[in-house]
Amino acid sequence: MEAVIGLIVILFIYLVIKAAAGGASGGYDSLVARGVPARGILLQVASVGTKVGTVSRRFELRQVWVDIEIPGQKPYEVNTSAVIPLNLVRDVLPGATVELRVDPKNPSKIAIIGPGTGFVQQALRTS
């Protein structure tokens, strides 16, 4: 009986760790797919963040204060935790312009998907 309980506890711990590790990458992918394209100007960026994601797909969750511009809408500022692919973390500095995806239901939930250069070309294509 103790062996069965131990096995159930180990399985439960495994599932919790797996859900926590995959939650960032799944949430990021979902936000990139359904989020509203936007441009952000980083006003403040926390100097440290929390590594999240899976071993093969790492992200950093970092506190940022960002001025967000969505085409056709009034710009706004938000202080939030942004999910950033690990390869972009060095580019996430105060004053940088970044390309974002914004959750249409929660405008304070954002994902940084790259430097801000792609936004201008996309805006030109849609005008």
* Percent of the chain topping pLDDT 70: 78
Q: What is the pLDDT, as a whole number, of residue 124?
A: 45
Higher-pLDDT residue of 87 and 16 is 87
Number of structural domains the chain divides into: 1
Threshold 0.75, pTM exceeds: no
Note whether 63 and 80 are within 8 A (CB): yes
Note whether 99 and 115 are within 8 A (CB): yes
Q: What is the pLDDT, as a whole number, of residue 120?
A: 46
Higher-pLDDT residue of 67 and 125 is 67
**CATH number of the CATH domain containing 14:** 2.40.50.140
Domain containing residue 59? 2-126
CA–CA separation, 48 and 57 (whole Å): 19
Q: What is the pLDDT, as a whole number, of residue 24?
A: 53
20: alpha, beta or left, given left = phi > 0 and alpha = psi -120 to 50? alpha
pLDDT band per the 50, 70, 90 thresholds, residue 69:
very high
Residue with tokens 């995959």: 22
Q: What is the pLDDT, as a whole number, of residue 75?
A: 95
Encoded amino acid at 98, one letter: V
pLDDT at residue 21 greater than cutoff 50:
no
Please tell me whether residue 68 adopts helix, strand or coil conformation: strand
